[in-house]
Amino acid sequence: MIDLITLDNQKNLIDGVVLHQLKINRDQSGILSEVLKTNWNDIFGITSYPFAQCYYSVTPSGGIRDKDLWHVHPTKQEDRFVIIRGEAIVAIYDSRKDSKTCGRLNLFQMGQENGDNNQFLLLIPKNTLHGFAVVSKNDVVLLNFPTSLYDVNEEGRISHKEASAKFSDGSIFSWERVLEEFK
């Protein structure tokens, strides 16, 4: 079994990762939730960059972004993920040699299936390896509020094999294993 991090279980977080709980407001007219505010000090604190842009992606059920590659922003960009539809597992691996959590893998269960009280924005620190896989029957709609405008020099990829990230049981990370646990 793989170890998942949620709002209720934030053991062994990678240095610089932040989970900010979202408040879901429901009534007869529907749902409203604020997903990013400049007065959230854990997201817009001293070390975080200001708002630069927002985009969304839609990934189909069973889909994996960059299946055999980690995504990395090497120098300045932090990502801020919110999943507003569906459910995904977001993986972050800390390969930063100067980090006190170097070598640590975190897996985050995000999305609607977590219920209204367990929705969160996930801050992904710069120079950490990351990716996500859809584990719901529905497509995933992911919002990202990166901390800098698109820059081709901030769009790195590293193979899973080269990174050698491992699950807590010592086995090599693979999206196939993650998806198998959610069948």
Q: Is residue 2 part of a domain?
A: no
Cα separation, 109 vs 91, in Å, equals 9
Task: Say if residue 50's pLDDT is above 90.
Answer: no
Q: Is residue 1 part of a domain?
A: no
CATH number at residue 74: 2.60.120.10
Q: What range does the domain containing 169 cover?
A: 18-181
Task: Give the per-residue pLDDT at 46.
Answer: 65
Task: Say if residue 49's pLDDT is above 80.
Answer: no
Q: Is residue 166 part of a domain?
A: yes
Confidence tier at 144 by pLDDT (50, 70, 90): very high
Cα separation, 166 vs 158, in Å, equals 15
Q: Is residue 22 part of a domain?
A: yes
pLDDT digits (tens, 9 = 90+) for 18-44: 999 999 999 999 999 999 998 898 988
Which segments within the chain are labelled E, that is strand? Answer: 18-21, 24-27, 30-33, 55-59, 69-72, 79-85, 87-93, 105-111, 120-124, 129-134, 140-144, 156-159
Task: Say if residue 47's pLDDT is above 90.
Answer: no
Mean pLDDT across the stretch 120-149?
96
Distance of CA 21 to CAs 36, 119, 120, 137, 161, Å?
11, 6, 4, 24, 33
Q: Among all chains, which residue has been given the structure tokens 């990678």?
A: 14
Mean pLDDT across the stretch 72-87?
95
Q: Is residue 5 part of a domain?
A: no
Q: Is residue 6 part of a domain?
A: no
Structural domains in the chain (count): 1
Q: Is residue 145 part of a domain?
A: yes
Confidence tier at 114 by pLDDT (50, 70, 90): confident
